[in-house]
A and B are shown apart, each in its own frame.
Chain A
Amino acid sequence: MPRGTIRVAPASPFFVLLEIRDLHYAWPGAAGDCLAIERLDIAAGRAVFVHGPSGCGKSTLLGLMAGVLVARRGRVSLLGHDWAELRGGARDAFRADHVGYIFQQFNLLPYVSVLDNVLLPCRFSAARARRCSEGPVAAAQALLARVALPPALWPRRADALSVGQQQRVAAARALIGRPELVIADEPTSALDAALRDDFMALLLGEAQAGGSTLVFVSHDDRLAARFDERLSLPALNRAPTTP
């Protein structure tokens, strides 16, 4: 696999990490676009809150940012590379190297241990493994300790954990190997208020410590205050509203 073949300029504070221009996206089979964004820049090292009600295309936007979905028209580029210009395998390798992803829930492979779940990105990306200066396993353990998961749980199967614990493991997995971009898709919606605040503090702190840019999507406005930047997806989206 042609990993590490794509050269990336080092991130500087004023470097535009993610650039969206004239984006149009429609789900296969859909008549009209569900997303149309003229322009969006996300600077490196920022924590960005994207707000929008359910069904406004938040997950679709994140899929486009992560290169899992590819725009029909326009460009979405990460670190200066247009996802659409990368071919199949190269796109997956690029995502493995530079993007960490946290889902709303069910982030983990249930049949794999907690530690192995955190190590997953390092298995798919040599670059992420290399960026763990103390080695992937030590890095994973350090991250698990920082997200306050007791070592007794590390060798357990991931499905033995509570939802709150699982989300913290998911955060550790997204952060391992310091990817340039960490995407979080409503990661707190399954957590209660106390757990949610803990989780937010953890995620923001660790993303900043690792130098990762965080794009956080939620319908919950109350979280917005913690972020450097706040965006409203309905305001950005020029596509005619679909039911």
Chain B
Amino acid sequence: MKALLAIAARSAWNRRGTLALVMLSIALATALLLSLERLRSDIRSSFAQSVSGTDLIVGARTGPVQLMLYAVFHVGGATHGIRMDSVRAVAAHPAVAWTVPIALGDSHRGYPVLGTTTDYFARFAYGDRQPLALAQGRAFAGTLDGLYETVLGAEVADRLGYRVGQQLSLSHGLAAGPDEGHADHADHDDHADHADKPFTVVGVLARTGTPVDRTVHVSLQAIEAIHLDWAGGAPLPGVRIAPEHARKFELEPDQVTAVLVGLRNRVAVFNVQRFVAEYEAEPLLAVLPGVALDELWAVVGPGERALLAVSGLVALVSLSSLVAVVLAGLNERRRELAVLRAVGAGPRHVLALLAAEGALVTLLGALTGAAAAAVAVVAAGPWVQQRFGITLQSTTPSVEQWALFGVVLLAGMLASLVPGWRAYRLSLADGLTPRI
């Protein structure tokens, strides 16, 4: 058997060109399969970790998924708000540790504007309870002096080229989506509905891979201030309140869009949820973010499975190319196999020879592919993060990845048995004189 292995190695080396091509195609398939799986699981986890540390999200009574969509993903609009006295009632519940109200409805060049309190920067967490961090500058002051201050999400700052100290204006309502490619924001800002009250960028948040990256953060009072001379979604004709004068008005909001709630003890979560649901002054809804995120993911799920199916097909195609190449080469090798049989190799040796070669080629290909996938994750990680906001983790392979790797390997070995079996049949039928 040892003699046979040495010969198998020489024989394979003799056909290294073809085998290298097969190896390459298996490597590509493996790399594709593994990096798609990595992408898939990281999309899922960065989705599932869009919000953490928040035990409940409270808003006007609507569907849980809809509440999540606007409170966490800042997509779509709330039909109703929640009154501030309701917020205070929830905050007064003995099990509640903190509340952070949020107000949505405005935008800046397609990016949603979130009005909130300074607590937001301390309380909001994502991923594995990671708090928000500032990449530049500071949080907005939350005082009257710092009324027109804004903190930008990482993507907003990157895409629009904002730095601390620059000014921007907000627009009323949510635009279709972030507009891109305009270098001339000054010109663009002229069309902003709230151009009369420009904001100064005081901070830029570090990237999170969550919707926070696409959000413009201002204080709740600022949201009130820019809408002082507005009524029913339109500017009041003939009324103009200058930015400085706005400070003299009552700027505490009457209602907000939703409230993020943190509890002293998670055990009380259903008590508080029931308290909110049974709150009589206003119809409210409290959702558990994890549960609602899972529901939301179920909607996106089929796309995820399609990704996996595509990579499975790629793997299938390259494995059949392995079988095809080895089978095609078999006729040329019948003479070689007859020589081996004449010097004492059995048909079972012949089968072992071909199967071992296929297995080795598959193993090398799969290893190369796995290495390439790892390199690709490290190399393309920052780009994917920047372009798509998906954080690729270059950690050790997940169970699913090991499983996929195993499946590729096993399938490759099974596939290489096909030509091996054919060679076995041929060497029995040929005897020592192949009929080529």
Contacts and interface: CB of A to CB of B under 8 A. Distances in A.
Interface of A: 1, 28, 59-60, 62-63, 66, 68-69, 88-89, 91-93, 95-97, 101, 103, 106-112, 120-121, 123-125, 173, 185
Nearest to B1: A1
Contact of B429 (A28, A60, A92, A103): A28
Given A92-B349, A111-B11, A124 B343 contact: yes
Given A88-B346, A92-B345, A69 B431 contact: yes
Contact of B344 (A69, A96, A103): A96
Judged by DSSP, the binding face of B is helix
B344 A59 contact: no
A121 B343 contact: yes
A28 B430 CA distance: 10
Nearest to B335: A106
A66 B348 contact: no
B143 to A, nearest CB: 83
A14 to B, nearest CB: 28
- Among B1, B7, B346, which residue has the most Cβ atoms of chain A within 10 A? B346
11 contacts: A1-B1, A63-B433, A101-B343, A103-B432, A106-B335, A106-B339, A109-B10, A121-B343, A121-B344, A123-B6, A173-B343
Contact of B431 (A60, A111, A121): A60
B14 interface: yes
B158 to A, nearest CB: 57
Contacts of A173: 343
A93 B342 contact: no
A171 B13 CA distance: 26
B7 A112 contact: yes
B209 to A, nearest CB: 53
Contact of A109 (B11, B13, B346): B11
B11 A95 contact: no
A1 B431 CA distance: 22
B339 A123 contact: no
Interface string B333-367: 00110111111111111000000000000000000
Interface in B1-59: 1, 3, 6-7, 10-11, 13-14
Nearest to B338: A103
B344 A88 contact: no
Given A60-B431, A62-B432, A123 B3 contact: yes
Contact of A101 (B13, B348, B429, B432): B432
B345 A124 contact: yes
Contacts, number: 75
A1 B345 CA distance: 12
A66 B14 contact: no
Given A92-B346, A108-B339, 8 more contacts: A63-B433, A92-B344, A93-B344, A103-B432, A106-B335, A107-B339, A123-B6, A124-B344
B77 to A, nearest CB: 72
A108 B338 CA distance: 10
Contacts of B347: 88
Contacts of A1: 1
A2 to B, nearest CB: 12
A96 B4 CA distance: 13
Contacts of A93: 344
- Among A28, A68, A92, A103, which residue has the most Cβ atoms of chain B within 10 A? A68
Contacts of A97: 344
A21 B336 CA distance: 32
A120 B349 CA distance: 14
A145 B182 CA distance: 84
A112 B10 contact: yes
B28 to A, nearest CB: 27
A112 B6 CA distance: 10
B3 A88 contact: no
Contacts of B1: 1
Contacts of B336: 109-110
A219 B342 CA distance: 22
Nearest to B12: A111
Contacts of B13: 111
Contacts of B11: 109, 111
B356 to A, nearest CB: 17
A97 B431 CA distance: 18
A124 B339 CA distance: 12
A96 to B, nearest CB: 2
